[in-house]
């Protein structure tokens, strides 16, 4: 699923984030922030979010760098 | 939409619902507040097919999905944090209903209040330090011995010299990072070092030796930036990058004290 959600009108520039900005954001959103167990995020405790993030990002970076 | 849940972006204190008017959350769903005990949770409805356990596992691996959710999450946290003390939640905290949200707000009330006290009137700023590893190397002398000794030996010597240089350079980089971080931490409320970012992800040049994040009082931002500029001029080999303010992601955690 690749949803493309409208960001808030106040802050949306319509431009995709630069990779560095996305990494900065994920550094904080996945690594920090208040951890309150929601009804569903409890089940995510077993997922290593850092691995998820790196896997997703490296896959994407490689896809961009390697033409085939 | 089939079954829905409530995606929770942040906990706030004193946010006016009117502040959310005209703004949308994930998938364009309207933002609203769930209140309990003087605190509010900023939420919007999400599809549980997408944000349920299975959906989350699948979608967190999808960079496009992750980016759009992270960007929206950040935008909502910013909107709130520009107005009232705000403790942003981690990505993808989903509740089955408003009653669950209220129950959790009650449970975490004291810890959340302490976190909000801690970050009120303050913002999170990042400072990254890069050193250009190649610039420290002085390769002038290293190619000469090749004519006098065997090529194999020359190669090994060259390799060893390069390794030693890298080690010395990494050591120097680590010391520099520590010095800069200590100077910045001294002038800020709270500080933390995040893991340096992988160049494969960011495409930055040089070696990131510091990925620091600092909680800075609103009245101290100018002084903080001056300090960064001064450190940059004192250490010409280092490139410093300052970013912010972020919603206080790193410093609003609920420590159970």
Q: What is the CATH number of the domain that holds B156?
A: 3.30.70
Q: Which residue has the higher pLDDT, B135 or B93?
A: B93
Whether B141 and B201 map to the same domain: the answer is yes
Whether B94 and B133 map to the same domain: the answer is no
Q: Give me the percent of chain B exceeding a pLDDT of 90.
A: 61
Whether B165 and B208 map to the same domain: the answer is yes
How many domains is chain A built from? 1
Contact A16, B67 (CB under 8 A): yes
Give A59's contacts in chain B (Cβ within 8 Å).
63
Whether B106 and B157 map to the same domain: the answer is no
State which residue of chain B sits closest to A25, comparing Cα positions: B70
Give the ipTM of the model, two decimals please.
0.73
pLDDT average, residue stretch B113-139: 84
In a domain, A26, yes or no: yes
Give B49's contacts in chain A (Cβ within 8 Å).
none
Q: What pLDDT, on the 0 to 100 scale, is given for residue A14?
A: 43
In a domain, A51, yes or no: yes
Whether B105 and B194 map to the same domain: the answer is no
Residue B134 has pLDDT above 70, yes or no: no
Note the pLDDT tens digit of each residue in B214-246: 999 999 999 999 999 999 999 998 999 999 999
In a domain, A24, yes or no: yes
Q: What pLDDT, on the 0 to 100 scale, is given for residue B56?
A: 81
Give B202's contacts in chain A (Cβ within 8 Å).
19-20, 23
Question: Of B67, B88, B119, which residue is a domain's last?
Answer: B119
The Cα–Cα gap between A44 and A50 comes to 12
In a domain, B255, yes or no: no
Whether B195 and B173 map to the same domain: the answer is yes
In a domain, A27, yes or no: yes
In a domain, B98, yes or no: yes
pLDDT band at B170 (very low <50, low <70, confident <90, very high): confident
Whether B139 and B226 map to the same domain: the answer is yes
Q: What residues make up the domain containing B79? A: 4-119
Is A5 in contact with B26 (Cβ distance < 8 A)? yes
pLDDT average, residue stretch B76-104: 92
- CA B68 to chain centroid, in Å, comes to 17
Q: Which residue has the higher pLDDT, A1 or A51?
A: A51
Note the pLDDT tens digit of each residue in A35-57: 555 566 544 444 455 555 555 66
Give A38's contacts in chain B (Cβ within 8 Å).
8, 93-95, 100, 104
> Residues of B190-199 as b/e, b for ≥16 C-beta within 10 angstroms?
bbeebebbee
The Cα–Cα gap between A55 and B63 comes to 9
Residue A17 has pLDDT above 70, yes or no: no
Whether B127 and B180 map to the same domain: the answer is yes
pLDDT average, residue stretch B20-28: 94
Q: What pLDDT, on the 0 to 100 scale, is given for residue A45?
A: 44
Q: What pLDDT, on the 0 to 100 scale, is given for residue B47?
A: 95
Residue B207, strand partner residues:
B131
pLDDT band at B148 (very low <50, low <70, confident <90, very high): low
pLDDT average, residue stretch B171-196: 91
State which residue of chain A sits closest to B116, comparing Cα positions: A34
Name the residue facing A40 among B5, B11, B79 (closest C-beta).
Answer: B5
pLDDT band at A68 (very low <50, low <70, confident <90, very high): very low
Whether B141 and B189 map to the same domain: the answer is yes
Q: Which two tokens stand for residue B237?
A: 């080999």
pLDDT average, residue stretch B20-37: 96
Question: DSSP label at B90?
Answer: P
Q: Which two tokens stand for residue B75?
A: 């935008």
Whether B204 and B237 map to the same domain: the answer is yes
Question: Of B119, B147, B162, which residue is a domain's last?
Answer: B119
How many domains is chain B built from? 2
How confident is the prediction for chain B on average, in pLDDT? 88
Q: What pLDDT, on the 0 to 100 scale, is given for residue B180?
A: 96
Is B70 in contact with A22 (Cβ distance < 8 A)? yes
Name the residue facing A10 among B23, B70, B126 (closest C-beta).
Answer: B23
Q: Which of B2-16, B190-204, B232-246 shows the lowest per-residue confidence on average (mean pLDDT)?
A: B190-204
In a domain, A31, yes or no: yes
Q: Which two tokens stand for residue B51?
A: 């944000």
Q: Give me the percent of chain B exceeding a pLDDT of 70.
A: 92
In a domain, B253, yes or no: no
Q: Is A23 left (phi over 0), alpha (psi -120 to 50) or beta?
A: alpha
Is B22 in contact with A27 (Cβ distance < 8 A)? no
In a domain, B251, yes or no: no
Angle at B61 between CA B244 and CA B56, to 5 degrees: 90
Say whether B108 sits in a helix, a strand or coil. coil
Is B67 in contact with A53 (Cβ distance < 8 A)? no
Give B22's contacts in chain A (Cβ within 8 Å).
9
Q: What pLDDT, on the 0 to 100 scale, is given for residue A28?
A: 81
pLDDT average, residue stretch B117-125: 95
Give A30's contacts in chain B (Cβ within 8 Å).
90-91
Question: Of B119, B139, B157, which residue is a domain's last?
Answer: B119
Name the residue facing B70 among A26, A60, A61 (closest C-beta).
Answer: A26
In a domain, B65, yes or no: yes
Whether B147 and B37 map to the same domain: the answer is no
Whether B14 and B83 map to the same domain: the answer is yes
Q: What residues make up the domain containing A44? A: 19-65
Name the residue facing A27 among B65, B66, B194 (closest C-beta).
Answer: B194
In a domain, A4, yes or no: no
pLDDT band at A10 (very low <50, low <70, confident <90, very high): very low
Is B126 in contact with A12 (Cβ distance < 8 A)? no
């Amino acid at each position: 699923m690749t949803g493309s959600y409208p960001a808030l009108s106040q802050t949306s520039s319509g431009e995709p984030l630069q990779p560095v900005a996305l990494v900065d954001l994920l550094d904080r959103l996945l690594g920090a922030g208040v951890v309150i167990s929601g009804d569903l995020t409890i089940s995510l405790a077993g997922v290593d979010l850092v691995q998820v993030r790196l896997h997703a990002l490296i896959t994407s970076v490689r896809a961009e760098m390697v033409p085939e | 939409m089939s079954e829905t849940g409530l995606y929770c972006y942040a906990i706030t204190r004193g946010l006016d619902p009117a502040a959310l008017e005209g703004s949308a959350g994930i998938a364009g769903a309207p933002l609203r507040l769930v209140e309990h005990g003087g605190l509010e949770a900023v939420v919007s409805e999400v599809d549980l097919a997408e944000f349920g356990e299975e959906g989350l596992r699948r979608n967190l691996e999808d960079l496009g999905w992750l980016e759009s959710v992270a960007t929206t999450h950040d935008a909502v946290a910013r909107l709130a944090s520009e107005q009232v003390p705000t403790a942003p939640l981690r990505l993808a905290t989903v509740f089955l209903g408003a009653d669950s949200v209220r129950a959790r707000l009650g449970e975490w009330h004291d810890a959340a209040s302490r976190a909000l006290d801690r970050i009120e009137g303050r913002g999170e700023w990042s400072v990254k330090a890069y050193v250009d590893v190649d610039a420290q190397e002085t390769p002038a002398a290293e190619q000469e011995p090749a004519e006098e000794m065997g090529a194999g030996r020359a190669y090994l010597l060259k390799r060893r010299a390069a390794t030693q240089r890298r080690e010395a350079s990494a050591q120097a980089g680590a010391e520099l990072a520590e010095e800069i971080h200590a100077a910045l931490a001294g002038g800020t409320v709270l500080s933390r070092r995040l893991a340096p970012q992988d160049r494969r992800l960011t495409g930055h040049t040089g070696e990131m030796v510091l990925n620091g994040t600092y909680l800075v009082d609103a009245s101290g931002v100018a002084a903080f930036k001056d300090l960064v500029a001064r450190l940059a001029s004192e250490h010409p080999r280092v490139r410093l990058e300052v970013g912010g303010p972020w919603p206080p992601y790193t410093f609003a955690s609920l420590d159970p004290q």
